[in-house]
Every structure is written in structure tokens, then in C-alpha cells.
Structure 1
Amino acid sequence: MNLDQLNYQTVETDGVITFKNENTTLGFIRFDDKGEVEYIFVNPIFRKKGLAKKLLKITEEKLGKKLIPQEPISPLGRKLFHLN
């Protein structure tokens, strides 16, 4: 199943964007107004479908700036932000 086949809704609150369906949270991103990403998570069941990249894209569009990851950064986070 790819991103286009997933049935989910996007929920935006102050500093958090969440993808969820009727059963669970697929993923979320927590950020501040400066564009610093505090945390990004994708449920392991839904990984490798482009959800993290889509969360980053939506957040960048919302803020109108390039995002910066906060330390510490996991190996997967480094890869996502092209820091390796």
C-alpha cells in the first residue's frame, strides 16, 4: 500500500501536524515558528510510504521556510534531512 492508497486525515494544532485514520495515528511532526523540528514520528506499520516527507513538505509550506532538525537526531532523522 502506498501513500495514495492510505485513508487518513490531517489534523493541525499549534505546532503539531498529525496524520491519523479512524484506528490510529500514522505519524506526526512537532515544530516551532522558527522552523525547528523537535520531533517527527511515523508509526512503524506505515513507514516507507512517504509520510515523513509529506509531513515535512506540509510543515515547510505552512511556515514558508526550510526546516531545521533539533538535536539529537536519530540515524533515520539524519537520513530524512540528508545530513549523512
Structure 2
Amino acid sequence: MTNQVPTNIITGFLGVGKTTTILNLLKDKPENENWAVLVNEFGEVGIDGAMMADGGAMIKEVPGGCMCCTAGVPMSG
């Protein structure tokens, strides 16, 4: 038996509102839930993670743009 974890993947081109969407979701996060946000950061300076830090979720930035290649994050379930 496996534990299923509800997961949302928010993706899109630069400027479409991904960070704004996540910030709005974090505003409505129930206090009894534990959330994590994984930011696939392309820039040299991680701006999105800093903006989300006060939202009540654990924030992890993966620099370099590719979670698999850069961080060695296994993406299979």
C-alpha cells in the first residue's frame, strides 16, 4: 500500500503568472496542512523562492533549470 500525496504542477512561460498563482494558493493554505514548493529556478538569483518564503510552506529551489540533470532528483513514482 502506498501513500498518495496530492500534487500540483504549475508550469508556463515567463510572465504568465506562475508565482502569483502559487502566492495566492499559499494565502489560502489550511493551517493543519503541510505544503512544500519545489522551484525549478533558471536565474542566477533565486527570486521566486524568496517571495514564497513567508507563505507557510517549505521552499526548495533547484538551480540550473533541470531537476533531473542538475540536482539528480529522481522523478519516477
User: Higher strand fraction: Structure 1 or Structure 2?
Assistant: 1
State whether TM-score is above 0.5.
no
Q: TM-score, normalised by structure 2?
A: 0.33
Q: TM-score, normalised by structure 1?
A: 0.31
Greater relative CO, 1 or 2 (CA 8 Å, sep 6+): 2
Structure whose alpha-carbon radius of gyration is higher? 2
